[in-house]
Structure 1
């Protein structure tokens, strides 16, 4: 039987080894989840809500342990881990508070004869959740919370490097009172995963990951006629318009590029800066990126920890090196530090052109791509040229104009104006183009995997 071993990316030491489950073991967990679902679906939305509140509180009660576990497995800063746990708890609270009303039956009149109609949001069954390593608790929770409220069960295949976090999350959900089999965590390989997608008792598939992985999972699911929600990568553009406040733009650009050690799908990655303010922005941005303290992610003074693995380090290094080989210039960073661990420094690249990884692709690490635009109109054009469209940002002193640009012209799913942030329980989360489809949060995620049932009364 093959195994996986989790590795601390800061120290390069092994943490723990886990057996990979056989197809039968994984299928047995799926069958058990389905059996638990048949009972769970009998509860009302109001009866499900307290379970979510208790899960949120249990996460808060174990925050120190969970943050330390996530840091050891993925290298994220301890402080970022605590923020993540609070976000998870807030999602549980939001779902418990708003779910019963959002998923309640709707009374309608039939349009042709004026008689009574009822729209009911009914659960489907087991939802298969495939999640990445960059937010080991948030990624599973944002799927789990909405689907538990809707009445579904959930089977999680987590990224192998944070196996411990996934298994611990299930233990804590059970400790909080969730029925043992309703949320399953399986440790399997990709072949077994594809077979599970096709299993008749899997009624929907949700995945967060790269666009390449999304194509594969989406195709396997489509072949089995399963609905999917895909939240994929991006190279989000943050636009520094001609009237931007440079201090604000630089502050949130540094934060947006380095949050979670630069490994966030919806972080700022491309900085499209208008010619009028280009030099002022770049000078201040590089100065602050040079001053970033990289080091031990458990140290409270550290601002940038390691990448999540040596493999992730190699990928980022190759993307930067390939961009430089094609003419990009490094203004800071870009040098491999002489130290143990998967550390990559805060890096700023300029003179970027199409065909470079730093221009076209997503760099999942602390590397900023700065692109010069002629003016505001050109900045929006360059932002929309990307094959991705998850998030983005606009820096401008004219908030109403920025809102209009964001609403009418920015071809992306989420836009921050004069700020940076990752997710909010009350606002929808998701993208367009190669960044995937479907939405989570804001009530939208609760309705992705339900049977919207029309009942016509005579």
Structure 2
């Protein structure tokens, strides 16, 4: 049984709290790590360590800070396989899938940090009569990052590049369900020579997160998680008049037009619905397909779903690992049972297998409607509900009819339909390629899916505070 500790300044420390949290391997249901949740006093010491380190970190040149981040990224790359194995053990993600996302996130960390080299931390504007205004963007100070359990390493790396490169220090609280890989990630930061106090780590559940978001010295909270928890974070930061960036739940739609290849598109949709066992905020959770190709599409989607082999993520043949825990599997099962009770048809999957572990098969549902939980609430599991629509326009309208607005995907060859899709209320709209785009991508979730623009220069805007210094010509000397 591994005992996890907090990183506060330069020391790995035991918690002063008494609440013990256990980490369970979802493939075997066996506990393999535990930790004492950080108390408010522990959180306070972590914030103080970050505050003490921040002036020295900000005093480095941008090039020096980016160099430290690059050194850490190089170390992460060398240990990516180890980190993927830890993610597999703590939340079930197949090792190959985890390695792919960790490699992508590490490249993203480098790219996001490199953007600091061209970001306008200082701008000068001139006016009439010799007037000049300098706009200087200062780091905020201590920032907090609270990450979910579905992508432990990538979610940390995705948030940290701009925060660190801009001169902030950070306190991270990972999900209590998958903290092991994050602990190792921070050990690698130490070995890469990142200065003590720049990165701090506290482990815990909701009360630890609340102590962090409510701390008076935390200037920004970057939170990824549920809508309910996001509302709490937003309320806490609002009361303190501090910033937050929230990426919350999704119920992402897919609209499949009549003119596309139904088989190839179904295979792409299966990947978007089932990869990481559907535990992605931007998983394809509502599928609207044109009636002209619906039969072929559904047949191909069912065939593709059956190729997602259940198993322990350490086994090379495994495509679909377990859900993170029994609570998450119960949510998935409840959504499917609700749909069936209300008239949905299970085309494949739809039942908990008789085996150890929190497994659930890739499931395709048809004959679904908007009274069903599987069409209105975030399922976060390997379930693909399909609605047949008479036109692309109706599919688009139904895709927009949701309280969520994280991302959406459209498959079409029609230029007019592509133009129409751009108006979907979502932070990202992908056309003919799910998860497309690079480090220059800018987005802000819509509706209940969050707030705060991020990506590229927007991430640096959020991580800094602008000050304008206006210079007027000195008064002429008098005799």
- TM-score, scaled to structure 1: 0.95
Residues 90 and 425, structure 1, Cα contact 8 Å, conserved in 2? no
Match of residue 171, structure 1, among 187, 191, 211: 187
Greater Rg, structure 1 or structure 2?
2
Corresponding position of 1:285: 301
Give deviations 1:411-448, integer Å, cap 9, x for gaps. Answer: 11112211222774232354111111123332322221
Quote the RMSD (CA, aligned, Å): 1.7
Q: 1:207 aligns with which of 223, 235, 238?
A: 223
- Is 1:392 aligned with 2:379? no
SS in 1 for 2:172: strand
- Secondary structure, aligned partner of 2:397: helix
- The aligned runs of 1:264-343 (5 Å cut-off) are 264-343=280-359
**Matches of 1:423 and 1:29 in 2, distance apart?**
35
> Which moved further from structure 2: 234-243 or 413-422?
413-422
Partner residue in 2 for 1:8: 25
**In structure 2, the residue corresponding to 1:443 is in which secondary structure?**
helix
**What secondary structure, in the 3-state scheme, does the structure 2 residue paired with 1:415 have?**
strand
Partner of 2:90: 73
Q: CA deviation at 1:286?
A: 1.2
- Superposed CA deviations along residues 166-202 of structure 1, whole A, max 9, x for unmatched, are 2111111121111121111101342343233222210
State the 4+ residue runs in structure 1 displaced beyond 3 angstroms: 400-403
* Counterpart selection for 2:110 from 88, 93, 105: 93
TM-score normalised by structure 2 residue count: 0.91
Question: Per-residue CA shift, 1:66-105, capped at 9, x if unaligned?
Answer: 1110100010010111112212221222123221211431
Q: Secondary structure of the equivalent of 1:372?
A: strand
How far apart are the structure 2 equivalents of 1:333 and 1:46? 52
How many residues are treated as equivalent by the alignment?
455
Contact preservation (8 Å) 1:359, 1:369: yes
Q: Is the 8 A contact 1:9 1:306 kept in 2?
A: yes
**Partner of 2:179: helix, strand, or coil?**
helix
**1:402 Cα deviation after fit:** 4.5
Q: Deviations over 1:284-315 (max 9, x none)?
A: 11122123211121122211111111111111
Counterparts of 2:60 and 2:184, CA distance in 1 = 26
Measure, in 1, the Cα distance between the counterparts of 2:242 and 2:371: 35
Residue 200 of structure 2 aligns with which residue? 184
Please name the residue that 1:436 is paired with: 450
Against the structure 1 CA distance between its residues 269 and 422, is the aligned structure 2 distance closer, same or farther, given a 3 Å change threshold? farther
After superposition, the C-alpha distances for 1:375-423 in whole angstroms (9 at most, x for unaligned) are 011111001001111111111123x43441232x211111221122277
User: Partners in 1 of 2:343 and 2:369 — Cα distance?
Assistant: 8
Work out the CA distance in 2 between the residues paired with 1:328 and 1:357: 11
1:124-154 superposed Cα distances (whole Å, 9 cap, x missing partner) = 1111111101000111111111100111111
Please report how far the alpha carbon of residue 323 of structure 1 lies from its aligned counterpart in structure 2 after TM superposition.
2.1
Corresponding residue to 2:48 among 11, 14, 31: 31
SS at match of 2:315: coil
Structure 1 pair 310–423 and aligned structure 2 pair: CA distance change class (3 A): farther
Q: Is the 1:120–1:454 contact (alpha carbons within 8 Å) kept by the matching residues of 2?
A: yes
Long gaps (5+) in structure 2: 1-17, 473-479
| Conservation of the 8 A alpha-carbon contact between 1:270 and 1:369 | yes
SS in 2 for 1:160: coil
Q: Secondary structure at the match of 2:288?
A: strand
**Does 2:210 correspond to 1:197?**
no
Retained in 2: the 8 A contact 1:306–1:344? Answer: yes
Q: From the superposition, tell whether residues 115 and 75 of structure 1 become closer, same or farther in structure 2 (CA, over 3 Å).
A: same
Cα distance in structure 1, aligned partners of 2:142 and 2:27: 37
- 1:255–1:420 contact (8 Å) kept in structure 2: no
Residue 404 of structure 1: aligned partner: 419
- Secondary structure in 2 aligned to 1:24? helix
